[in-house]
Structure 1
Amino acid sequence: MKDNVLILAIESSCDETACSVIENGRNILSNIISSQIEIHKEYGGVVPEVASRKHIENISDVVNEAIIKANVSCDQIDAVAVTYGPGLVGALLVGVNYAKGLSYAWNKPLIGVNHIEGHICANFIENKDLEPPFVCLVASGGHTHLIYINDYGKYEIMGKTRDDAAGEAFDKVARAIGLGYPGGPLIEKKAKEGNETAINFPRAVIDEDTLDFSFSGLKSAVLNYIHNKQQKNEEIIAEDVAASFQQAVVDVLVMKTMKAAKLKNCKTVALAGGVASNSSLREALEKECKKNNYVFLKPSSILCTDNAAMIGCAAYYKYLKKEFSDASLNAIPNLKLAD
């Protein structure tokens, strides 16, 4: 095995077209992200067909920019990695087919990567000395998972959402109080001006024997609160709604994560995914970890969003095990991380 392994990785699972060149899994040589947020804002959310078309328009330029910024040639690349699920099927197909084309043209191994695994691996990039085992909360627009990472590539799903993901709930509540899209950053900004104890929104626990999440009831409670206020012609203080909703989400995420760590007797807790950039969640989880003498890890904001560096990191450990894909690799929109 050569000393320096260079992997070119592509990510196109939703509305970011991204490409990265990463060295030995943890050293980023380039990490290019082309976001479609401004395009989808007018629709109030991601439109799958529009996202797919923009990926097609952007992917060649993004890949070329990543190669130029990394200052490498295709001959130096050891493998091509790509997200093949979960995500929007049309968006995934753009990345998968482009990666297969590069793999064939360059005669390099192809490595398919699970998007959720990529989010977890963002912590390896941010924390160079991190080694399994650890517990990770992955919270994003499409996923809310509590995962025990026993070893590289070995995952145990301890809990997951039964309905809305945390990020999805943020988007829907933001829309309800007139903040627009994307909901997460807008809710967080508005919440800083509000009172988190002003409204007693429910904390869905489901039952004591599960670490699963449910945010649909909380979302409904917020919508009902707004409708009742409107019917009574009473003032709705958006700042208080945002702050109280956000706190309800954070309380449940932190409580379940700490419970998972204690069940595994695991002293290291990590965050990942788009919602992981929420400052209230980061601060609350860090506070609880300090209280219990746990190590708390979090990626920088750029590694919380969808990016290709995290995909390259996950692919590196597959490369070491020679876990390669062939030309039959296909997009799997509902791909699972573990059974």
Structure 2
Amino acid sequence: MQKIIIDTDPGIDDALAILLALAAKDELEVIALTTVNGNVGIDKVTKNALKILEIAGKNVIPVYKGNAKPLMRKSGHCEEYHGDDGLGNLGFGDCCRGDCQKEYAVDFLVRKVKAETGEITLVAIGPLTNVAEAVQRDSEFAQSVKELIIMGGAEYEGNMSPHAEFNFWTDPEAAKIVFSAGFKKVTMVGLEATSYAFLSPALRELLYLINTPVSRFIYEITRVYADGNWNMKRELGCRLCDVLTIVYLLNRDVVKTVDAFVDIETQGLCDGASVVYRTKRYPDKKKNCEIAVKADAKGFFEIFFGYLFPEYLNIVKELLNGKEEV
């Protein structure tokens, strides 16, 4: 059983990542969700986190509200992909009945990680503001975390600029602090790998036909995500970027990684870019993480549907194999 804390800014793919982690109850113990400004503002993402837990029937899991803005700059959001409310403009967060904890998210992270040194994996699927502040707050925090898995960055091509991915672009100073903090084990799951976690129209339609509260929730919130992807790129479907971090926890073989040294640019034309030095090519650079470079798309969706909707796994396999009749 892996103990995890998910630091998140829900966000459509964040929601799916959380639902998958909760469904994998025999492998993952979700201790808490900590929220951070990102896809939308802090109040909205916190309400969304509470609503996701409510939909999953996991209200007992605590939610801690974190940073409302980046460490050193103004906020930047991503409503064109996630909607004004972060969950597809469907009003899910507005009808949330839960409440977050009174303790500040960073205080909780520092306290909990120190109390269970070497036991907690931190899954950061939003901007790294909370994690960076925890590093600044406690010099022992980084070494006390068992493992840090980050959805963020890109080795080659960004999605907010030619070089920068959204989470790092939102708070590059925080990302720079995190990558230089000395965590024992860091995995950066960037855009190269998440391109394989692409929800096709056929698989999305299957979610509608499964017709459970969770499947219909996923189907509905991914509508604006798919629409945004079509409007921006003329692609049918959408990436489930953050979900790949949870899939990686459940089966490391699904994601191929290589050793690297990563630094973050904080100014100029490449502001927010993750500068990746693969240590095999640059042996003078000391490894500070592993970067995900590829993912097994079939393995990804077999895990996603296998945990959330196991009775439909055979149909999913048929669709992934390209068969029209199932």
- Per the TM superposition, whether the score is higher than 0.5 is no
Give the TM-score normalised by the residue count of structure 1.
0.30
**Structure ID, larger Rg:** 1
Give the TM-score normalised by the residue count of structure 2.
0.30
* Bigger RCO (CA 8 Å, 6+ sep): 1
